[in-house]
Amino acid sequence: MSSDLLFFLFFFLLFLYPEMSMRMRIIKRLKCIKEIEKERKSRVIAMIHRQEVLSLFGIPIYKFITIEDSEEILRAIRLTPEDMPIDLIIHTPGGLVLAAEQIAIALKEHKAETRVIVPHYAMSGGTLIALAADKIIMDKNAVLGPVDPQLGQYPAASVIETYYKKGEKVSDEFMVLYDIAKKAISQMEEFVYNLLKDKYGEKKAKELAKILTEGKWTHDYPITVEEAERLGLKVYTDVPEEVYLLMDLYKQPIRERGTVEYQTVSNHK
């Protein structure tokens, strides 16, 4: 085999094959989404944020809710007929509050039934979007999270608590942070209340809005199905099997030995 041919094969494997492999996975994902749409007679939108790896250097890329996500989802909702239900599949650690709020508003305003499906987790902004849906469908082991505002690395609720403890002893810069923290919590509480009041009534909506935004828990606290039900949220656990098949198509190619291994079918008797 000539050196030129070897170089070509090396170039193909290094640069072109990962790109072709990604394109094939995208085609499979779209086919799976189409099958779910046919089965559920709905518009299916997937917002899946998994860690991905750059094909050349193996550098991990962490994905979050961005303005680009909100642009695409708003466009998908806008192109959906008013009488067609929407199934929004979410797998996300959260992200930009503005983007999550835009998606939530668009989902709430859609005239047909809207359903958010959470196969694993929808934290922070993901939970905010889920609250906007007519129906929240979670895997029995999936989790949501609090929607208390974060000011950079600091929870807004903790900033306020610190101010109450120190009072006049804080710096001018901290006073500004305290003012922003109060506004952030008030704004988020009002936003969540408006998302929930039509479904739960004013009293329950105010109660839920306060609990989810006041900083009762840490921001990564897992709200399980059981916890959500105790709070009074209406959640369902009938996740379509096809959704799990779709999630499998978002797994990245394994370059090293995985940390979790198992057989899908057990032959043990």
pLDDT digits (tens, 9 = 90+) for 3-20: 666 666 666 666 665 666
Band (105; pLDDT cuts 50, 70, 90): very high
**What does the pLDDT average to over 82-105?**
97
| Residue 252 · residue 50 · CB < 8 Å | yes
User: Which residue shows structure tokens 């899908």?
Assistant: 264
> Residue ranges per domain, the chain?
25-145+222-253, 148-217
The answer to whether the Cα torsion of 123, 184, 70, 206 is positive or negative is positive
Please say if the pLDDT value at position 109 is more than 50.
yes
Band (56; pLDDT cuts 50, 70, 90): very low
Report the pLDDT value the prediction gives residue 24, as an integer from 0 to 100. 82
Report the pLDDT value the prediction gives residue 69, as an integer from 0 to 100. 95
Please say if the pLDDT value at position 62 is more than 80.
no
**What does the pLDDT average to over 105-124?**
97
pTM: 0.85
pLDDT digits (tens, 9 = 90+) for 178-187: 999 999 999 9
Band (269; pLDDT cuts 50, 70, 90): very low
- The closest of 3, 8, 89, 9 to 43, measured between CA atoms, is 89
Please say if the pLDDT value at position 164 is more than 90.
no
d(C-alpha 230, C-alpha 114), whole Å: 23
**What does the pLDDT average to over 256-268?**
57
| Residue 230 · residue 130 · CB < 8 Å | no
pLDDT digits (tens, 9 = 90+) for 228-250: 999 999 999 999 999 999 999 98
Q: Alpha helices, DSSP H only, in the chain?
A: 3-11, 17-40, 67-78, 97-109, 125-132, 156-166, 172-200, 202-213, 225-231, 241-248
d(C-alpha 151, C-alpha 252), whole Å: 32
The string of DSSP codes covering 108-119 is: HH-SS-EEEEES
- The closest of 120, 121, 88 to 244, measured between CA atoms, is 120
**What does the pLDDT average to over 63-77?**
94
What residues have CB less than 8 Å from 130, skipping those under 6 apart? 90, 116, 118, 122, 136, 144
Grouping H, G, I as helix, E, B as strand and the rest as coil, residue 234 is coil
Q: How high does pLDDT run on average in the chain?
A: 88
User: Which residue shows structure tokens 């003012």?
Assistant: 179
- The closest of 99, 239, 202, 213 to 157, measured between CA atoms, is 213
d(C-alpha 150, C-alpha 11), whole Å: 45
Residues 117, 120, 125, 129: what is their CA dihedral angle, to the nearest 10 degrees? Answer: 10
The count of other CB atoms within 10 Å of the CB of residue 80 is 18
Please say if the pLDDT value at position 37 is more than 70.
yes
| Residue 92 · residue 64 · CB < 8 Å | yes
Report the pLDDT value the prediction gives residue 251, as an integer from 0 to 100. 74
Largest CA distance in the chain: 79
In this structure, which amino acid lies at residue 3?
S
| Residue 183 · residue 159 · CB < 8 Å | no
Report the pLDDT value the prediction gives residue 20, as an integer from 0 to 100. 66
CATH 1.10.3720.10 fits 25-145+222-253, yes or no: no
Report the pLDDT value the prediction gives residue 11, as an integer from 0 to 100. 63
